[in-house]
Amino acid sequence: MEQPNLNYINDLSGGNEEFKTKIIGILKRELPVEIGTYQEQMALPDYTQAAQAVHKLKHKVSILGLEKSYYLASDYEDNLNNNSVALKDDFELILKAMEEFVSQL
């Protein structure tokens, strides 16, 4: 499984530590909220709203350098829109890895 990293953020910041710190702060603030929203929608279950939550989370997946996982998240979003939870376990492993990584920043 891919591991989250800061490669994209480092490239984006171009050495500007203030900008990098700001992006990391946004990740630390938004990621738990977006994961919580996803989990709430899955518990209902409201797969259409869960798919929207996955759509938002895909951007965080990409920012954390998880290229292959981005495609899995995209497929999972499509599955949810078709009332299927195929790929749920794989997607939730990605979320866990992201949460753990961001909490250590």
pLDDT means over runs of 10, the chain (105 residues): 92 93 95 97 96 96 95 97 97 97 94
Of 31, 19, 41, the C-alpha closest to 10 is: 19
- Domain boundaries in the chain? 7-103
The predicted pLDDT at position 1 comes to: 75
Indicate the residue type of 51: A
43 Cβ partners below 8 Å, 6+ apart?
Answer: none
Q: Radius of gyration (Cα) for the chain, nearest Å?
A: 14
pTM (2 d.p.): 0.91
The 8-class DSSP code of residue 1 comes to -
Amino acid at 25: G
